[in-house]
A and B are shown apart, each in its own frame.
Chain A
């Protein structure tokens, strides 16, 4: 196919605005897939994606479309829909010339609509605004169109569709061909292919999604990764239509998959450039960034004998997710588990949920922690991703924590409560943009740790669910951080230690201490529960000693029954974790850690 007849595009949208349904409808219209074959949201292959309505892994599909007497290849590149995966989004945008910006006809423009639009514009994409779900009774086309005008589109650019009924899809396909530019690569130049995704296949190894920018790649070529320098022989090339089609070469402007017996997904970096070993390009494509976990937490199996199963589950997930990191960790309270690193909160929740659902392992997760930078008195810097790794207070000269710039998109009624929330969360106000009279984007600088703690839940409850938000990392700032420990009868409960801003430690400590008092059953002796920074106790409460656990009467008829009762109590004790001399039910950790989310 000549380059002029190729269109590479992606669909971007706020969560739930109908991106995947629209993709399905496009597949159906182009005849790539019959209505009968169409499972809802064809491109999202994992159950969890379908349920959450979000796309986790990328997909690219080639569609043959006939337009005004000519055949066109439309390459639809699907993108993940959440901020945690914004780097992956940016790489798939870089593989395209154009993008459909989908807005829900009832919901209108949301935080991620804007974030995605800016990402697309940063990548110099041609953006087609699409108002979807026009079949909804609550659709307000005029309002949504005005919102789109306010963010820089003209009204006649907008395409109105219903992915559900199929209305407007033909017009949309025509617009894709007419408005999105064809790729302009130099087929004769040395190969430059952008890696925008990868996937592990147990038969073929890593399958890499690429967009060829310049040159050509053929089966049996020796290809070279420009970032790592590793070389592999190309074993096969293919493209989904959406059934897989094997091809012999991919040329400038085209999109497809390459596989080369690469054993680990960790050897392939999204954003890296593939060239040929015998005729390498001089520069790599711009924009490569190594992916770094931003959020860490400990994952422990509730049943301690499931530790090996958990390892296996993480290894399997890691096969397809280079951004997931984990290493074994031991907790006195929780036993053996893993310290895991994630791109963000959603990534963490997805991994937890997949482990529980696909591998059947019930988990306890410790409080999520960001990566802190700690400068020691001797001038060295350590990165701390877990409270247990926090150096002693007297060795610390200063602490820094990651900050993000958040864009909170909200009806203007909630400006007050949101600003209050952001102030409470140590936020610094940046500015505020009105989209129209009723909708506003508020920008704040906030510590990432606050976002990770409970910002999102609070935001939802402060705004009755109307606000949406997005964030990007802007760097580290100095902050007065301390490690707060929780002690039971004088023993530190390692699983409950957190790194927290000093001004918040008191309140947080009080909450945890009170909560524990509710959950931990009375013991044979009084148990003090303390929250402490170093040796300084900041909150304390006591669990009163147990007064009564006795078989009041025990005569001939009661004997066997009472033995059974004791056996039941014995079983109950077995499910307790021992912290020093205190017996703590698992639920205590679960409920404390759950309030942290």
Chain B
């Protein structure tokens, strides 16, 4: 049963130099057509399930005008929401306004995720972003005032030439905002981004790791519940847990991905195709084996790990029957607490190594 839905709003007023998401320059003409097509896509594929989470991501959803947002929310009102449904929208400080926040709340929005990324002007310049720290503070306090206290702030680190001190200052600022959720990402230089093309180089692996450790220690009052996510109790991202628990979700919009009926699909990233209603681009039919792999890869991202009961219920076998994890357990790279198997936090930054070792030896039961 699908309980989650992702909506992609690809428009941005500015294109950040590191971004390889599916994005388009904002244009009124396209937004209108886009929303019409989005409506049609949702009508075609949504089967009326009651949803526990809705996530409006981008791009920059907050770049839409008030009228466009109204139109968006009215399209989305077809989606049935459970009583406790978490409705998140991503926003940028240079396009969000109090009015837009009000509108979002009126629609039923109860979580907002801000892309802050950095507080340093030299990095903002290189990222091709802008930020007014006072405006940030006023927006955050406004959200809290109106009861929209489920706020996430995104922080990016490991930017070329960035120092530990820089990261530390960013963290201090974010901590001063006193929000309940913080996501941190080490910059990935992706192909086809401006930064990559301009030949920027990653900072050293060791410095990256030191930054990560600094983050972990400065955010020690938060639960480090997933590799890149920190939150106060009760404010974990429900929507993202849908991904990390390998559960099904709809993905609507340009370039969006979804997971329905054992198929992982991706929508086209071409706006012209999308407007012609050629929605799905890639589909991966999952075998039981594939699903188990996803189960492992995704569940091991969080502190809760893989639930042994759940694994057995879904796949009718035990994890250790299909993967040889005995030496990982004895070496301490995996921990079995009787109910679940997880990666200890001190090895999270090496989790790919551990995942590869798990998936290396597959035994047919």
Task: Decide if A552 touches B186 in the complex (CB within 8 Å).
Answer: yes
> Residues 526-560 of chain A: 1 if any B CB is under 8 Å from the residue's CB, otherwise 0?
00000000000000000010111111111111011
Task: Decide if A549 touches B353 in the complex (CB within 8 Å).
Answer: yes
- Chain B, range 171-230, C-beta contacts under 8 Å to A: 183, 185-186, 188, 205-206, 208-209, 212, 227-228
B131 within 8 A of A: no
A573 within 8 A of B: yes
Task: Decide if B350 touches A566 in the complex (CB within 8 Å).
Answer: no
B40 within 8 A of A: no
B1 within 8 A of A: no
Task: Decide if A550 touches B348 in the complex (CB within 8 Å).
Answer: yes
What's the nearest-Cβ distance from chain B to residue A545, in Å? 9
Report the separation of the CA atoms of residues A556 and B228 in the bound assembly, to the nearest whole angstrom.
15
B3 within 8 A of A: no
Q: Given A552-B186, A554-B301, A570-B359 in contact, is the A559-B352 Cβ separation under 8 Å?
A: no
A563 within 8 A of B: yes
Report the separation of the CA atoms of residues A548 and B208 in the bound assembly, to the nearest whole angstrom.
8
- Chain A, range 281-327, C-beta contacts under 8 Å to B: none
Name the B residues within 8 Å of A547 (CB-CB): 205-206, 208-209, 349-350
B97 within 8 A of A: no
Q: Given A550-B350, A556-B243, A560-B257 in contact, is the A573-B185 Cβ separation under 8 Å?
A: no
Name the B residues within 8 Å of A175 (CB-CB): none
Task: Decide if B350 touches A553 in the complex (CB within 8 Å).
Answer: no
- Chain B, range 74-88, C-beta contacts under 8 Å to A: none
Task: Decide if A566 touches B352 in the complex (CB within 8 Å).
Answer: yes
A569 within 8 A of B: yes
Task: Decide if A566 touches B297 in the complex (CB within 8 Å).
Answer: yes
Q: Given A524-B350, A563-B293, A573-B356 in contact, is the A556-B188 Cβ separation under 8 Å?
A: no
A562 within 8 A of B: yes
Report the separation of the CA atoms of residues A566 and B356 in the bound assembly, to the nearest whole angstrom.
6
B255 within 8 A of A: yes
Closest to A525 in B: B331
Name the B residues within 8 Å of A557 (CB-CB): 21-22, 251, 255-257, 266
Task: Decide if A548 touches B209 in the complex (CB within 8 Å).
Answer: yes
B6 within 8 A of A: yes
B321 within 8 A of A: no
Name the B residues within 8 Å of A524 (CB-CB): 333, 347, 350, 353
What's the nearest-Cβ distance from chain B to residue A579, in Å? 16
Partner pick for A559 among B209, B212, B243, B347, CB 8 A cutoff: B243
Task: Decide if B348 touches A554 in the complex (CB within 8 Å).
Answer: no
Task: Decide if B240 touches A555 in the complex (CB within 8 Å).
Answer: yes
Report the separation of the CA atoms of residues A560 and B281 in the bound assembly, to the nearest whole angstrom.
14
Task: Decide if B298 touches A554 in the complex (CB within 8 Å).
Answer: yes
Among B228, B256, B282, residue most surrounded by chain A Cβ atoms (within 10 Å)? B228
Name the B residues within 8 Å of A522 (CB-CB): 205
Task: Decide if B243 touches A555 in the complex (CB within 8 Å).
Answer: yes
B355 within 8 A of A: yes
Task: Decide if B352 touches A550 in the complex (CB within 8 Å).
Answer: yes
Task: Decide if B297 touches A556 in the complex (CB within 8 Å).
Answer: no
> Residues 254-274 of chain B: 1 if any A CB is under 8 Å from the residue's CB, otherwise 0?
011111000010100000000
Name the A residues within 8 Å of B349 (CB-CB): 547-550
B26 within 8 A of A: no
What's the nearest-Cβ distance from chain B to residue A6, in Å? 72
Name the B residues within 8 Å of A569 (CB-CB): 352, 356
B284 within 8 A of A: yes
What's the nearest-Cβ distance from chain B to residue A580, in Å? 12
Closest to A553 in B: B185
Name the A residues within 8 Å of B259 (CB-CB): 556, 559
Among B257, B264, B333, residue most surrounded by chain A Cβ atoms (within 10 Å)? B257
B142 within 8 A of A: no
What's the nearest-Cβ distance from chain A to residue B197, in Å? 20
Name the B residues within 8 Å of A555 (CB-CB): 240, 243
Partner pick for A550 among B22, B227, B293, CB 8 A cutoff: B227
What's the nearest-Cβ distance from chain B to residue A562, in Å? 7
Partner pick for B297 among A546, A552, A562, A573, CB 8 A cutoff: A562
B141 within 8 A of A: no
What's the nearest-Cβ distance from chain A to residue B353, in Å? 5
Closest to A562 in B: B297
B351 within 8 A of A: yes
B309 within 8 A of A: no
Name the A residues within 8 Å of B185 (CB-CB): 552-553
Partner pick for A566 among B183, B347, B359, CB 8 A cutoff: B359
Report the separation of the CA atoms of residues A549 and B347 in the bound assembly, to the nearest whole angstrom.
10
Name the B residues within 8 Å of A573 (CB-CB): 356, 360
What's the nearest-Cβ distance from chain B to residue A559, in Å? 6
What's the nearest-Cβ distance from chain B to residue A44, in Å? 50
Name the A residues within 8 Å of B240 (CB-CB): 555
Report the separation of the CA atoms of residues A559 and B293 in the bound assembly, to the nearest whole angstrom.
11
Report the separation of the CA atoms of residues A548 and B360 in the bound assembly, to the nearest whole angstrom.
19
> Residues 233-266 of chain B: 1 if any A CB is under 8 Å from the residue's CB, otherwise 0?
0000000100110000101000111110000101
Name the A residues within 8 Å of B298 (CB-CB): 554, 559
Report the separation of the CA atoms of residues A546 and B350 in the bound assembly, to the nearest whole angstrom.
8
What's the nearest-Cβ distance from chain A to residue B258, in Å? 7
B93 within 8 A of A: no
What's the nearest-Cβ distance from chain A to residue B188, in Å? 6
Report the separation of the CA atoms of residues A563 and B356 in the bound assembly, to the nearest whole angstrom.
10
Task: Decide if B351 touches A550 in the complex (CB within 8 Å).
Answer: yes
Q: Given A559-B243, A566-B359 in contact, is the A549-B297 Cβ separation under 8 Å?
A: no
Name the A residues within 8 Å of B188 (CB-CB): 552-553
Partner pick for A570 among B227, B256, B282, B360, CB 8 A cutoff: B360
Binding site for B on A (CB under 8 A): 522, 524, 544, 546-557, 559-560, 562-563, 565-566, 569-570, 573
In the A-B complex, list the 10 residue pairs whose CB atoms are closest, starting with the nearest: A547-B209, A549-B352, A557-B257, A552-B186, A552-B185, A547-B205, A569-B356, A548-B205, A549-B353, A570-B356
Binding site for A on B (CB under 8 A): 6, 21-22, 55, 183, 185-186, 188, 205-206, 208-209, 212, 227-228, 240, 243-244, 249, 251, 255-259, 264, 266, 282, 284, 293-294, 297-298, 301, 333, 347-353, 355-356, 359-360
8 pairs, CB–CB < 8 Å, chain A vs chain B? A524-B350, A548-B350, A549-B353, A553-B228, A555-B240, A557-B22, A559-B297, A563-B297
Given contacts A551-B301, A555-B243, 9 further A-B contacts (CB under 8 A): A546-B205, A547-B349, A548-B208, A548-B209, A549-B353, A551-B227, A552-B228, A557-B22, A566-B355
